[in-house]
Structure 1
Amino acid sequence: MHLSPPVHPMLARPVTALPPAGAGPAVFEQKADGFRALVFAGAEPFLQSRRGSDLGPAFPELVEAAAVLGVEAVLDAELVVWGEDGLDFAALQERARRRGATARRAALERPAHLIVFDVLELAGAVLLDEPLRQRRAALEDLFAGRRLTAPWALCPQTSDRETALDWLDPVWGAAGIEGLVIKDPRSRYRPGERGWLKLRTRVTVEGIIGAVTGKVTAPRSLLLGRLDAAGRLRLAARSTPLSRRASGELGDVLRPAGAEHPWWGRTFSAGWGTKEPLAFHPVVPDLVAEVEADTAFDLGRHRHPVRYLRLRDDMDPEDVRQ
């Protein structure tokens, strides 16, 4: 029996801290900021997205690499594009929209890579029921035996907690490593299940409160901005839902904005990747909030919602710039 697309990838559920040291055996892998991809290598290569669609037309160089791997295999990987300072998610998104000749040209200009962290099938043997430690050994043997180089990369893995904590340093986040995936080395691969843990690198940043969802006197969430080089307020983030206490405190100090607010008439999407408009109310942009965010930051915006921490009465909006 062979695996054939689509295969539902195994997933991870988010956590806010590393498991306790005595919680059981664990290995830690770097979580790169890219697209999840299952690679079907061999005579009929196929590059599958997390949701089962065909990524091959956008990334022809990776389909070619899968065709010439030299062995039938199904690999689980993160598809990434490198930029000057690390992984470039915006460039990855731009490449994903290309097809045909423009995709082939992009493959030469901004080649994609596959950071491989698991093997589901190898040389005719389905490995789903094998423990992770054996799948990892098979993956390392594949890389060593085939002397794999770009576009292939082996995902770093460690069982050392101190090394894992080092990987959570924001310096790694700035390079595109957005956190850790935590796995039980004894576990089998369970397609579609959230059997792993995911811990994101977190940093604290500031934003100007430019608008709210819900009522100004009882906001549900915040829209935060930063000033660009010309002094214009640009949307930078949206917060997670506010606690009742935070909503009450902010509702006491926020004021509805007048017609001079730059966001009147603007349309913001309700979420990343959707065109559904967000209903919001501009407020006077004279308050600065400190928020907790992960390191997924593209084109001046935080890709995921940020968590409100507190007001920064000691900061002026003029100090909060892109």
Structure 2
Amino acid sequence: MALRPPVEPMLAQARETVPGPGVLSGPLAFEAKFDGFRALLFIPASPGGPVLLQSRRGSLIQGRFPDLVAAAGQLPPGLVLDGELVVWSGDRLSFEALQRRAASGERTAAQLAAAAPAHYIAFDVLQTDGRELLTEPYEHRRAVLEGLFAEHGLMPPWTLCPMTTDPAVAQEWLASWTEVQGVEGLVIKGLGQIYRPGARGWFKVRRRQTTEALIGGVTGTLARPQLLVLGRIDADGRLRAVGRTTPLKPDAARQVAQHLTPAGPGHPWTGVRFTAAWGSRDALDLILVEPDHVAEISADTALDRGVWRHPLRFVRLRMDVTAADVPLFGEGAAPAAG
């Protein structure tokens, strides 16, 4: 039976390091991980049928990406692809432009498509010529996907996700490719794995870098802080929020608590509402503190307009540096001076 939306995509669980052989079914394959919107693409089996684009959560979003629908004429009928929607801005990926496109209405979709065309990075094929491939091993599905691009001479907006089975090459990608904003790390799959919708059967490894930011607020209490909300000074001298940490471990919470000072009048974040996560509407119950202590943090490469989208990891307090040494807002993971 032909696949129809909604189909739950197979997912990946986070790991700190690239795993060794034997952890997944068969030898390992390594794909570049792009920071975009996960989407499944359904090409109708018969002429005149609708091209459907499904988000990770099951919503149909093809109306927001008319450029991809128009380009789908390059693809054979009865095809279902799994991949990532991205928008390039020069030599980097623009998550901001992608967000605008994903939130567009019918009136603005065509204009945004012309100004910021989308690309589809395909990394799996779930159906070809109407035949379901979910129970086929990844190695076979990848061969089918590569054959599809070769046979049809597919060009942008269709892109084949880079893949290697060489761990040394994968480590080089992790070290060098993640210098490009929007390339986050690696997804690791077993060549013998079948496609299990909704299962976290793959691994993902994001490149992380150590940097610094100012502690501007905490959740919990001053005696027992739970999360840190961090900021950096912009070019106009204002403290701008850059992200929040994961929950502090008990030892780290005690260390930070010893140095927190309640904010006095005129804290730059007075009256500002902070949400619990990127894209969330839930507000944090934040206690503002004087932003005079520097936290060393571990951050990944998912940075959007100076703000990290994923939670940061607290490493330690930097009592040896001052606010003047912290990188300015927008400088990403640049290390502090000194």
TM-score > 0.5 by shorter chain: yes
Counterpart of 1:38 in structure 2: which amino acid? L
Instruction: Report 1:203-218 matches (<5 A).
Output: 203-218=209-224
C-alpha offsets along residues 130-189 of structure 1, whole Å, 9 cap, x if unaligned?
111111000001000000001100000001111111121265243311011100001111
Counterpart of 2:37 in structure 1: which amino acid? F
Q: Secondary structure at the match of 1:90?
A: helix
Structure 2 counterpart of 1:8: 8
Pair 1:245 & 2:251 matched = yes
Out of 31, 51, 60, which is 1:54 matched to?
A: 60
Out of 68, 81, 96, which is 2:102 matched to?
A: 96
Tell me by how many angstroms 1:237 deviates.
Answer: 1.1
Paired residues of 1:170 and 1:203 also in contact (CA < 8 A): no
Counterpart of 1:297 in structure 2: which amino acid? L
CA distance in 2, matches of 1:286, 1:186: 53
Paired residues of 2:216 and 2:231 also in contact (CA < 8 A): yes
Report which stretch shifted further, 250-259 or 167-176: 167-176
Identity %: 51
Counterpart of 2:231 in structure 1: which amino acid? G
TM-score between the two structures when normalised by the length of structure 2: 0.92
CA distance in 2, matches of 1:81, 1:26: 29
Structure 1 counterpart of 2:28: 26
Q: Secondary structure at the match of 2:147?
A: helix
Counterpart of 1:172 in structure 2: which amino acid? T
C-alpha offsets along residues 216-261 of structure 1, whole Å, 9 cap, x if unaligned?
1211110100000011100011000000000001111111110121
Q: Secondary structure at the match of 2:121?
A: strand
Structure 1 counterpart of 2:325: 319
Structure 1 counterpart of 2:116: 110
CA distance in 2, matches of 1:285, 1:14: 32
Structure 2 counterpart of 1:37: 39
Paired residues of 1:209 and 1:224 also in contact (CA < 8 A): yes
Distance 1:105 1:74, change over 3 A: same
Pair 1:286 & 2:288 matched = no
Counterpart of 1:30 in structure 2: which amino acid? A
C-alpha offsets along residues 24-53 of structure 1, whole Å, 9 cap, x if unaligned?
510000110000000001332100000110
Pair 1:270 & 2:276 matched = yes
CA distance in 2, matches of 1:57, 1:229: 39
Q: Secondary structure at the match of 2:122?
A: strand
Out of 148, 151, 155, which is 2:157 matched to?
A: 151
Structure 1 counterpart of 2:17: 17
CA distance in 1, matches of 2:240, 2:76: 49
Q: Secondary structure at the match of 1:169?
A: helix
Counterpart of 1:15 in structure 2: which amino acid? R
TM-score between the two structures when normalised by the length of structure 1: 0.97
Counterpart of 2:301 in structure 1: which amino acid? T
Report which stretch shifted further, 311-320 or 198-207: 311-320
For structure 2, list consecutive stretches of 5 or more residues without a partner in the other structure: 330-338
Paired residues of 1:240 and 1:306 also in contact (CA < 8 A): yes
Pair 1:234 & 2:234 matched = no
Paired residues of 1:39 and 1:48 also in contact (CA < 8 A): yes
Q: Secondary structure at the match of 1:82?
A: strand
Counterpart of 1:17 in structure 2: which amino acid? T
Structure 2 counterpart of 1:307: 313
Q: Secondary structure at the match of 1:92?
A: helix
CA distance in 2, matches of 1:150, 1:156: 14
Structure 2 counterpart of 1:69: 75
For structure 1, list consecutive stretches of 5 or more residues without a partner in the other structure: none
Instruction: Report 1:97-176 matches (<5 A).
Output: 97-169=103-175, 172-176=178-182
Q: Secondary structure at the match of 1:103?
A: helix
Q: Secondary structure at the match of 2:89?
A: coil
Counterpart of 1:34 in structure 2: which amino acid? G
**Structural RMSD (CA):** 1.3
C-alpha offsets along residues 252-301 of structure 1, whole Å, 9 cap, x if unaligned?
11111101211111111121111222111111111111100111000111
Tell me by how many angstroms 1:102 deviates.
Answer: 1.3
Structure 2 counterpart of 1:86: 92
Paired residues in the alignment total 322
CA distance in 2, matches of 1:174, 1:275: 30
Q: Secondary structure at the match of 1:245?
A: helix
CA distance in 2, matches of 1:17, 1:163: 15
CA distance in 1, matches of 2:91, 2:309: 18
Structure 1 counterpart of 2:302: 296
CA distance in 1, matches of 2:245, 2:100: 26
Counterpart of 1:36 in structure 2: which amino acid? R
CA distance in 2, matches of 1:284, 1:217: 15
